[in-house]
Homo-oligomer: A and B are copies of this chain.
């Protein structure tokens, strides 16, 4: 089998709050979502919101603290990065870092969602999604 991330699960404290945030960001909850889990189709994979206490029970971990994993939406332009930052703030996100030009050439901002999960909104000329929304790595930079 091919290695693949099929599902990303984010632990949440209050499903109503977190689902509302993602819906404000334009994500559409799948009809198979339930009280304790929300599924969003994300291209060919799935983004899930799951109650943190249940996730802790499943993994056997507890006391997770955001910062070790980031999710990124790559955009077509600097303007889109700024629009996403604004949209996220209005939806209840916390700004971690306003977009800046990175030394390696990207334009990158960070926010934290209502549960503190960091998201990166970026414009990187060599890493722009194609017309299908797919991010395919180039052979060289």
Binding site for B on A (CB under 8 A): 1-11, 25-27, 30-32, 39-47, 52, 55-56, 58-76, 80, 96-97, 108, 110, 112, 115-118, 120, 127, 129, 132-141
With A1-B80, A7-B74, A45-B134 already in contact, the answer to whether A64 and B66 are too (CB < 8 A) is yes
Residues of B within 8 A of A70 (CB): 8-9, 55, 59
Instruction: List the B residue with the shortest CB-CB distance to A42.
Output: B5
Taking a contact as CB atoms under 8 Å apart, the answer to whether B97 and A59 are in contact is: yes
Q: What are 13 of the A-B contact pairs (CB < 8 Å)? A: A3-B25, A4-B129, A4-B133, A5-B47, A6-B74, A7-B72, A9-B71, A43-B43, A44-B135, A46-B135, A55-B67, A59-B97, A66-B69
With A6-B74, A41-B136, A135-B6 already in contact, the answer to whether A59 and B67 are too (CB < 8 A) is yes
Instruction: List the B residue with the shortest CB-CB distance to A77.
Output: B1
Q: Closest approach, in angstroms, between the C-beta of A110 and any C-beta of chain B?
A: 5
Residues of B within 8 A of A140 (CB): 31-32
